[in-house]
Amino acid sequence: MSEKLRPIVMVSSWPPRLCGIGTFAEEAMEFIIKHQPERPAFVISHTDGAGENVFPIIDLSRPDWYRPVVDKIRELNPYAVHIEHEYGLYNYVDEKGVSDNNAGFLKLLENIAEFPIVVEPHTVHGRMREHEEAFVRRLAALCDVLIFKCHYQKWRLEWTFSGYGWQVPRNIMIIPHGARPDKKYAIDEVPRLKSELGLDVLQDKHIVGLVGWIQRNKRWDILTEMWSELHDVIKAANGEDWVLLAAGEMRDPNDRGEYEKYLAAIKLLEEKGIGHFYQFIPRGDVYYKVMAICDFVVLPSLDETQSGTLARIIALNKPYLTSAPLEGRTAQTRESGGGLLFTDRETLRQRVIRLATDEGLRWELGYKLYRYLMDAVQWPKIAEQYYAAYELADRHKYHNQPVTIPSEF
Where along the chain do its domains lie? 3-178+379-399, 187-376
| Count of beta carbons in the 10 Å neighbourhood of residue 92 | 20
Average pLDDT, the chain: 93
8 Å CB contact between 84 and 10: yes
Enclosing H/E stretch for 220: none
Lowest mean pLDDT among 134-143, 257-266, 372-381: 257-266
Closest CA to 172 of 403, 381, 382, 397: 403
Has residue 335 got a pLDDT over 60? yes
Quote the pLDDT of residue 259.
Answer: 84
Mind listing the pLDDT tens digit for each residue in 59-70? Answer: 999 999 999 999
Quote the pLDDT of residue 219.
Answer: 82
Has residue 189 got a pLDDT over 60? yes
Quote the pLDDT of residue 330.
Answer: 86
The predicted model gives 317-341 an average pLDDT of: 89
The reported pTM is 0.93
- Using 50, 70 and 90 to split pLDDT, how confident is the model at 327? confident
Q: Exposure of 189 by Cβ count < 10 A (0-12 exposed, 13-18 middle, 19+ buried)?
A: middle
Mind listing the pLDDT tens digit for each residue in 283-294? Answer: 889 999 999 999
8 Å CB contact between 244 and 265: no
Quote the pLDDT of residue 2.
Answer: 44
CATH fold of 3-178+379-399, please? Rossmann fold (3.40.50)
Has residue 111 got a pLDDT over 60? yes
Has residue 217 got a pLDDT over 80? no
Quote the pLDDT of residue 252.
Answer: 81
Quote the pLDDT of residue 324.
Answer: 82
Evaluated on CA atoms 114, 115, 118, 121, the torsion sign reads: negative
The predicted model gives 189-201 an average pLDDT of: 98
Lowest mean pLDDT among 60-74, 298-312, 339-353: 298-312
More confident residue, 230 or 255: 230
Q: Exposure of 80 by Cβ count < 10 A (0-12 exposed, 13-18 middle, 19+ buried)?
A: buried
CATH fold of 187-376, please? Rossmann fold (3.40.50)
Exposure string over 115-154, b if 16+ CB within 10 A, otherwise e: bbbbbbbbebebebeeebbebbbbbbebbbbbbbbbebbb
Has residue 307 got a pLDDT over 90? no
Has residue 265 got a pLDDT over 50? yes
The predicted model gives 170-179 an average pLDDT of: 96
- Using 50, 70 and 90 to split pLDDT, how confident is the model at 303? low
Alpha-carbon distance of 341 to 347, in angstroms, equals 8
Quote the pLDDT of residue 173.
Answer: 97
Lowest mean pLDDT among 102-116, 150-164, 357-371: 150-164
Has residue 213 got a pLDDT over 90? no
The predicted model gives 210-225 an average pLDDT of: 85
Quote the pLDDT of residue 1.
Answer: 42
Judged by DSSP in three states, 31 sits in helix
The predicted model gives 345-367 an average pLDDT of: 97
Has residue 306 got a pLDDT over 70? no
Has residue 277 got a pLDDT over 50? yes
Enclosing H/E stretch for 354: helix 345-357
Quote the pLDDT of residue 304.
Answer: 57
Same fold for the domain at 3-178+379-399 and the one at 187-376?
Answer: yes
**What proportion of the chain, given as a percentage, has pLDDT over 90?**
81
- Using 50, 70 and 90 to split pLDDT, how confident is the model at 216? confident
Has residue 87 got a pLDDT over 60? yes
